[in-house]
Amino acid sequence: MKQNILKKKIIKIFKNHKLSTSHALICANALINAELVDAPTHGLSRLKMYCDRINKKVINPKPKIKIKKISQSICHVDANNSIGFVAADVGIKQAIKNAKKTGIGVVGIKNSGHYGLSGYYAEQAVRKNLIAFCFTNAPPAIAPHGARKSLFGTNPICFGAPTSSKVPFILDTSVSVINRGKIRVAARTGKKIPKGVALDKLGKPTTDAKKALEGVQLPIAGFRGSGFAWMVDILSGVLTGGNHAGRVKDPFDDFSGPQNIGHLFIVIKPNLFVGNYNQRIKENIKRIKRLPKIKGVKEILYPGQSKSRRYKINLKKVINLPKNILEDLKKLDA
């Protein structure tokens, strides 16, 4: 489907679900961006879920978002159970504003929902020549190291930095071996998942996606990944007033109340300590890229580089949506 037609459709659907035009636009842009960076698990495949949550009154389509100023650098946002895209948009814009003014902007957000891709928000700061950390927690998927029950979300860690070129450094990674969206898609399409990414509910390794969803996902790098997931739960949940310790509700399966997800955005000016950041980052990347490569590798990429290439190519194409999502769109647009 042509991107402009798809965008209009999404805006109309969200407006029919009582979002304002500006909030509907924020959501449409975020969903289309996910498709363009080849992350369909965070794109249109979630549109029905967001609408279902609005219909069941666990996402507030007309939030009264409050921004409490704690200092020139620090703000606390109560998103009033808004859709996550809107809460995150308010939060990152505020963090950018504070960082420009004081050198650092720290914004904690509570009462939010699933906000999609962390990198999308980090990119907004990097485009303004700022460094950004973005954290969000998510519903239980990973068992803490040594536990048989999942509690941490796939809690992505995201770091973005200007590179002195048009392509930003964006490290944006879940702390699970693969992200949960990929397992959901495999479960829906009856495909197997790779070995070593999940255990079934009895604690046995499984390649069956449905069993994996009932069981636990494995963190990256064993207890280290479990530690990262815990860190993100502290930063985005404990610190902000959001849900934490396994209380974030699954957006697809649990309509018993709002998710109250927490996010934390930390934005920094790159010239806080040195005046020649641009020159230093250029040299840093150049030295790494010049290293001798292992067999089969043509180029050493920095995080964000391949995504940026895919985005540029996809921007010129129509967005291909699977049949089930086209059906969802048709029903929601009726």
Ligand X SMILES: NC(=O)c1ccc[n+]([C@@H]2O[C@H](COP(=O)([O-])OP(=O)(O)OC[C@H]3O[C@@H](n4cnc5c(N)ncnc54)[C@H](O)[C@@H]3O)[C@@H](O)[C@H]2O)c1
- Which residues of the shown chain bind ligand X in the complex (CB under 6 A)? 39, 42, 114-119, 136, 138, 153-154, 156, 158, 170-174, 179, 301, 303-304, 306-307
From the CB of 42, what's the least distance to ligand X, in Å? 6
The torsion angles phi and psi of 199, rounded to 5 degrees, stand at -120, 150
From the CB of 275, what's the least distance to ligand X, in Å? 28
Q: Coil, strand or helix: which one is 178?
A: coil
Separation of alpha carbons 50 and 29, rounded Å: 15
From the CB of 198, what's the least distance to ligand X, in Å? 14
Residue with tokens 């068992």: 143
From the CB of 330, what's the least distance to ligand X, in Å? 26
Specify the residue, 73 or 242, whose C-beta has the smaller distance to ligand X: 242
Specify the residue, 293 or 330, whose C-beta has the smaller distance to ligand X: 293
DSSP label at residue 58: S
59 contact partners, CB below 8 Å, separation of at least 6: 50, 53, 81, 82, 83, 113, 258
Separation of alpha carbons 43 and 195, rounded Å: 26
The sheet carrying 169-173 orders its strands as 66-69, 74-78, 104-112, 261-268, 131-136, 157-161, 169-173
Specify the residue, 94 or 154, whose C-beta has the smaller distance to ligand X: 154
Specify the residue, 63 or 84, whose C-beta has the smaller distance to ligand X: 84
DSSP label at residue 238: I
Tokens standing for 277?
Answer: 């950041």
From the CB of 238, what's the least distance to ligand X, in Å? 17
Do the Cβ atoms of 232 and 261 come closer than 8 Å? no
Burial class (CB in 10 A: 0-12, 13-18, 19+), 272: exposed
Separation of alpha carbons 250 and 301, rounded Å: 34
Distance between first and last Cα of the chain: 17
Residue with tokens 């005046």: 275
Specify the residue, 118 or 124, whose C-beta has the smaller distance to ligand X: 118
From the CB of 154, what's the least distance to ligand X, in Å? 4
From the CB of 49, what's the least distance to ligand X, in Å? 12
From the CB of 212, what's the least distance to ligand X, in Å? 15
